[in-house]
Structure 1
């Protein structure tokens, strides 16, 4: 007796419903079964998140697909699939752009998807996402029994439900009725920016965010420039009981010293020259919510003392006022400096350091995150595809290898800027606007190894050889910055580009060294 292909595909999935499996493995098995039922080149599971679709698992598509976010307004095929309750097969001559053009693995050049099929998934009678199938053979789905796909989609929805239920129970021991809350995300509701990644260190970071987010502890977020400390702060706030209240951010490094107190605590009319009206400070604006102090290590010592008083007592005074006000604020702080070393050097108050770092949280560098670079690249590729009005934007296999081999001293911010530049370079090299634009290693323009600076850099000043390491380093940095600024007629932007750092960071460093 010939085995029923539908039953052959469904039976292992039914068995999986009773098993505790990691989400990635559960969804991988789901797509493998779908591919067994309906042989094709690529399959994907996408979750509906507001007005965009987020890939959760793919087989046969480029790894960077997992980092892409497909806005429905920009992808009419996906929009069309969601508009139907059952499966939809697109005609082979359909003119609607395909979001997967150029993303199918194992094919070089501009080979496009020719046969496309998809089916929406409904959980508790609400649209949850999509299953998509794509083939490079235009006749692949001509004889497909769409009822089989509909039956598979029903079991896929059960798989999704099981995974959501298990995940929810693992996060918190709450009543079953709270499961429904995960499906009640209002359309257009503002969400925190997403932390994208699947590496072990990234998952550890997400676990720590979930752990500390549900507390009232102060968190000191540390990490190199460009790793995404602000996104981590947003995620902590979103995971906290204060999520419905405001998250107020303040970049301490961008403030002139004479305005720090006014920005933090507010001022009354006439408190100083130019104070024509009363103004609430960031603490008052964040009352009941969270205050994020970015680059907190740049605060002057006088402001540090007043900040400590507010953290200890919950009371503040506006500049120029004798009246005290009480605030209820959770403080998150971030720094790319070693604050413990700053304390030892006398540049940061020890009592404030201990008050801020009740829970220290280190954000890993992009180099430590391994293949996460491809997922993040996919996210930035999709952003640039929409910005440039392209139908498809992808990385060649050689370009992917180059991204994986790079050290990423500028971390995620460097990757974001690199993808933006490379997309423009690749587009400018085309005589006409292509259907699929591929970014190769030439457009990336990544060095095989870190290059030396284009202009000769001074040797470490020998007159400082007898100084302690920190003072000698400061003296060397001061000399290097002075010479670079002189070469650029004291213009900060070109000097920052030559030195390979952000303009604002250069200004802050120069100020600390007494150059500004």
Structure 2
């Protein structure tokens, strides 16, 4: 019985994410429904912390209360709220149920109940059924009875997070990532990002300068904000300086300030960014772009804790923590004389490498879900989701522009499909071709989705799908015989190589994955 499992889990020492995932999975089994979601209330939106039965990008989505009247209705009362199949309110999970990916949902019933912890609103649990009548009176009474156990699971998970926070404060034990905590829009559950957040939790409370290293588009500013938010300076200002945007003639004045009449146009005295960040944090983004003359003065500030305004003789004391970031290889710049070695060592007391998106496993789908929901709301669509082959392409693409490139790809594809005249009340699915991904940036090897089955389920084909399936198998067979060489496979099949690539893309095949006989899901 589900009651005994939930009670046993309350007493067990489980990872926080596992405890909540077991909870929603047990609820889905108990109620024999299509999907269950546990959602955390954060300001004006709900964030999924555990789901079962929804597409993989659902955990990255944020459901704004103003955009989803069903969720708003559930949170507005403490009693169970039900929506029958004839409800006119849009369902937030339209197009997101795994078993009906990309199709309009059939008529179905929904129910949900708001959750409270310590008599404060925490969030909600929602259940969706794909058949009418699943949530009868008995099922509704059952969910009411389980609500106390659900809230107890959340309470235990939150208590464990508080205990770990105390250990961090007293013993400096690293925190584990919690699905209940707000990471300041840092979306991800991969081992790489989880380990990074643990590292930042530890270094944030120190006064050490931190150097954030990573490729363009990985989100260095978000990590700098997290460092500041978790530091003892959190109540003081965080001042952001884009060093790449500072003209060389004004860089010194911007950072350190100037006196009245210090140079032509200096009509009044002006404090610099260091003084603006007094007792707080100064974030020097793209620090590798600073001119050498300014680097020397920055070094003196880091060494002595003093700034000297242009045109003034007396230095001023400042109490500022510096976080710097760069996508450049500063060691190479030091070797080439473009960056001071002594400043590099001052800034990199604690270097932190931010992993590129291609090293974050399926985080790309969570981030895609975030951007899909933002564009859905922006464009006024009922539902916006990815086609299965588009999901596969996102996982296998190398993302040279990282998270920023992913955001732009999703936004661009959403605008393109709108230009085709789609109905805003339909479930809109983004095909892979609209993502405009560079074919040279795909990873070799099979689809990284280890849960995908090599064997396709038995289906009844139309003539068109039967022809396409036959074409897929021919291409796969030719590539296996030719060791994955596309040019040789084209000769084997007696087709032009460029036409073979076009056909493979249309059929949802990845250039190197077909070698294993896997079809993109």
- What TM-score comes out, normalization by structure 2 length? 0.80
Q: Any unmatched runs of 5+ in structure 2?
A: 170-181, 443-521
1:275 CA displacement: 1.2
Query: Is this contact kept in 2: 1:192–1:234, CA < 8 A?
Result: no
Distance 1:150 1:341, change over 3 A: same
**For residues 271 and 71 of structure 1, what CA distance do their matches in structure 2 show?**
50
Distance 1:173 1:286, change over 3 A: same
Say which SS state the counterpart of residue 64 (structure 1) adopts.
Answer: helix
* Matching residue of 1:156: 150
* Matching residue of 1:239: 230
1:69 CA displacement: 0.8
Q: Any unmatched runs of 5+ in structure 1?
A: 1-7, 176-190, 452-516
1:82 aligns with 2:75: yes
Give the counterpart of 1:135 among 129, 138, 143.
129
**For residues 307 and 446 of structure 1, what CA distance do their matches in structure 2 show?**
41
Give the counterpart of 1:205 among 179, 196, 207.
196
Residue-by-residue CA offset, 1:21-54 (whole Å, 9 max, x unaligned): 1122101110122123211000011111111111
Query: Is this contact kept in 1: 2:382–2:424, CA < 8 A?
Result: no
Residue-by-residue CA offset, 1:266-313 (whole Å, 9 max, x unaligned): 112211111122212110110011000000011111101111111111
Aligned residue-pair number: 429
Query: Is this contact kept in 1: 2:208–2:321, CA < 8 A?
Result: yes
**For residues 400 and 174 of structure 1, what CA distance do their matches in structure 2 show?**
38
1:124 aligns with 2:128: no
Say which SS state the counterpart of residue 123 (structure 2) adopts.
Answer: strand
* Matching residue of 2:22: 29
1:139 CA displacement: 2.0
Distance 1:142 1:200, change over 3 A: same
Deviates more, 1:332-341 or 1:430-439: 430-439
Q: What does 1:395-414 correspond to in 2, within 5 Å? A: 395-414=386-405
* Matching residue of 1:56: 49
**For residues 279 and 378 of structure 2, what CA distance do their matches in structure 1 show?**
37
**For residues 438 and 238 of structure 2, what CA distance do their matches in structure 1 show?**
40
* Matching residue of 1:65: 58
1:330 aligns with 2:321: yes
**For residues 110 and 26 of structure 1, what CA distance do their matches in structure 2 show?**
31
**For residues 3 and 315 of structure 2, what CA distance do their matches in structure 1 show?**
67
* Matching residue of 2:11: 18
Query: Is this contact kept in 2: 1:20–1:166, CA < 8 A?
Result: no
Distance 1:373 1:202, change over 3 A: same
**For residues 29 and 156 of structure 1, what CA distance do their matches in structure 2 show?**
11
**For residues 322 and 208 of structure 1, what CA distance do their matches in structure 2 show?**
41
1:105 aligns with 2:67: no
Deviates more, 1:343-352 or 1:431-440: 431-440
* Matching residue of 1:474: none
Query: Is this contact kept in 2: 1:10–1:33, CA < 8 A?
Result: no
**For residues 296 and 174 of structure 1, what CA distance do their matches in structure 2 show?**
31
Residue-by-residue CA offset, 1:70-89 (whole Å, 9 max, x unaligned): 11121111111000102110
**For residues 144 and 120 of structure 2, what CA distance do their matches in structure 1 show?**
16
**For residues 115 and 396 of structure 1, what CA distance do their matches in structure 2 show?**
25
Say which SS state the counterpart of residue 257 (structure 1) adopts.
Answer: coil
**For residues 108 and 10 of structure 1, what CA distance do their matches in structure 2 show?**
31
**For residues 49 and 385 of structure 2, what CA distance do their matches in structure 1 show?**
19
Give the counterpart of 1:256 among 247, 263, 266.
247
1:345 CA displacement: 1.4
**For residues 145 and 334 of structure 2, what CA distance do their matches in structure 1 show?**
64
1:174 CA displacement: 8.4
Residue-by-residue CA offset, 1:194-230 (whole Å, 9 max, x unaligned): 1110111010111111011111110000000001111
Query: Is this contact kept in 1: 2:187–2:366, CA < 8 A?
Result: yes
**For residues 343 and 172 of structure 1, what CA distance do their matches in structure 2 show?**
41
* Matching residue of 2:167: 173
Say which SS state the counterpart of residue 16 (structure 1) adopts.
Answer: helix
Aligned-CA RMSD value? 1.6
Distance 1:431 1:119, change over 3 A: closer
* Matching residue of 2:290: 299
**For residues 366 and 381 of structure 1, what CA distance do their matches in structure 2 show?**
17
* Matching residue of 1:38: 31
Query: Is this contact kept in 2: 1:68–1:375, CA < 8 A?
Result: yes
Query: Is this contact kept in 1: 2:35–2:127, CA < 8 A?
Result: yes
Query: Is this contact kept in 2: 1:287–1:329, CA < 8 A?
Result: yes
Q: What does 1:385-404 correspond to in 2, within 5 Å? A: 385-404=376-395
1:142 CA displacement: 3.1
Residue-by-residue CA offset, 1:362-418 (whole Å, 9 max, x unaligned): 000000111100000000001111111112111111110111111111100000000
Say which SS state the counterpart of residue 322 (structure 2) adopts.
Answer: strand
Give the counterpart of 1:351 among 342, 346, 353.
342
1:47 aligns with 2:40: yes
* Matching residue of 1:492: none
Say which SS state the counterpart of residue 132 (structure 1) adopts.
Answer: strand
Say which SS state the counterpart of residue 420 (structure 1) adopts.
Answer: helix
1:442 CA displacement: 2.1
Say which SS state the counterpart of residue 88 (structure 2) adopts.
Answer: coil
1:289 aligns with 2:264: no
1:373 aligns with 2:373: no
Query: Is this contact kept in 2: 1:427–1:437, CA < 8 A?
Result: no
1:59 CA displacement: 0.4
Say which SS state the counterpart of residue 71 (structure 2) adopts.
Answer: helix
Give the counterpart of 1:220 among 211, 218, 224.
211
1:309 aligns with 2:286: no
